[in-house]
Amino acid sequence: MGAVRRRLAEHAWEGVEPIAYHDPALGGVEKHELVGPPDGAQGYRVRYFHVPAGGRTARERHPHDHTVVIDRGRARVTLGDAVVDVGPGDVVYVAGDELHCFEAVGGEALGFICVSPPARPRPASR
Amino acid sequence: MGAVRRRLAEHAWEGVEPIAYHDPALGGVEKHELVGPPDGAQGYRVRYFHVPAGGRTARERHPHDHTVVIDRGRARVTLGDAVVDVGPGDVVYVAGDELHCFEAVGGEALGFICVSPPARPRPASR
């Protein structure tokens, strides 16, 4: 059965609780899980990241890829060895194992849609 | 390797050729294949649909699901037995085999991001 998630404000959707992201020192990034396996989507999940002005996502690499579509604000994007600036409507594909980081620049908050494969269980710690 | 697709205009991205969609009688709908298996994305593809004012997508159902995020304009959405009106930032999950149709209402063009599993080859015709 389908579902509708209405946007209530710039980073708020009906029925979606924001999740604080990683280290608070990164500036208060929020994740919003918009659609994923709990809805029946088997192959992907769709999230929204809100990055306050001056904040950034973790600088990381991992096996799964991402597709990002900028919703608002400006991002300075680390993508492997490159650094590129992007804005609303621009699309960034981050390949698996590629270093990446999205930083909110220009004195405004950054918001982007992020598509990725469904989360896999983390390996048990030893 | 990652990629950046810059948005050049409301329904134009650098390096992406729009594809005319289905029956022209539906009002000149365009698809833009933003990211998918040719980029290395294995589990999903991300497309943008531009629906001119008064146009609509096909009224259809099929086994694969969709996640739609409205970018601009207003949509009257058929979702199974329901009809709902949505606008920018609203998210619609269309389950597999669910009847769906997106119609541009309110006298303006509709644009939306559509996430779905990668296309499977069509069965050979007999």
Active-site pick, A29, A68, A70, A114: A114
Which residues of chain B neighbour A39 with C-beta distances below 8 Å?
Answer: 93, 95
pLDDT digits over B62-104, tens only? 999 999 999 999 999 999 999 999 999 999 999 999 999 999 9
What pLDDT was estimated at residue A70? 98
B6, B62, B93: best to mutate for the A interface, most A CBs within 10 A = B93
Q: Does B47 touch chain A (CB under 8 A)?
A: no
What pLDDT was estimated at residue A99? 98
- Residue with the bigger pLDDT between B51 and A24: it is B51
Q: Does A13 touch chain B (CB under 8 A)?
A: yes
- What is d(CA A84, CA A13) in angstroms, rounded to the nearest whole number? 29
Q: Does A7 touch chain B (CB under 8 A)?
A: yes
Q: Is the pLDDT of residue A126 over 50?
A: no
How many beta-carbon pairs under 8 angstroms link A with B? 132
DSSP letter string, B17-80: --EE-S-GGGT--EEEEEESGGGT--S-EEEEEEE-TT-B---B--SS-EEEEEEESEEEEEET
Q: Is the pLDDT of residue B121 over 70?
A: no
Give SS3 for A95. coil
Confidence class of residue B110 from pLDDT cuts 50, 70 and 90?
A: very high
Q: Which tokens sit at A11?
A: 């980073």
Cβ separation B44–A43 shorter than 8 A: yes
Q: Is the pLDDT of residue B123 over 70?
A: no
Chain B nearest C-alpha distance from A25 (Å): 27
Which residues of chain A neighbour B43 with C-beta distances below 8 Å?
Answer: 43-44, 117-118
Confidence class of residue B21 from pLDDT cuts 50, 70 and 90?
A: confident
Cross-chain CB nearest to A93 (options B2, B84, B118): B2
Chain A contacts in chain B segment 66-85 (CB below 8 A): 67, 69, 71, 77, 79-80, 84
pLDDT digits over A78-103, tens only? 999 999 999 999 999 999 999 999 99
What pLDDT was estimated at residue B3? 95
What pLDDT was estimated at residue B27? 83
Percent of chain B with pLDDT over 90: 83
Cross-chain CB nearest to A44 (options B4, B34, B115): B115
pTM, entire model: 0.93
pLDDT digits over A44-60, tens only? 999 999 999 999 999 99
Cβ separation B86–A41 shorter than 8 A: no
Q: Does B119 touch chain A (CB under 8 A)?
A: no
Q: A96-125 burial, b for 16+ CB within 10 Å, e for fewer?
A: eebebbbbbbeeebbbbbbbbbeeeeeeee
Q: Which tokens sit at A44?
A: 């992907």
Q: Does B62 touch chain A (CB under 8 A)?
A: no
Q: Does B41 touch chain A (CB under 8 A)?
A: yes
φ, ψ of residue B51 in degrees (nearest 5): -120, 110
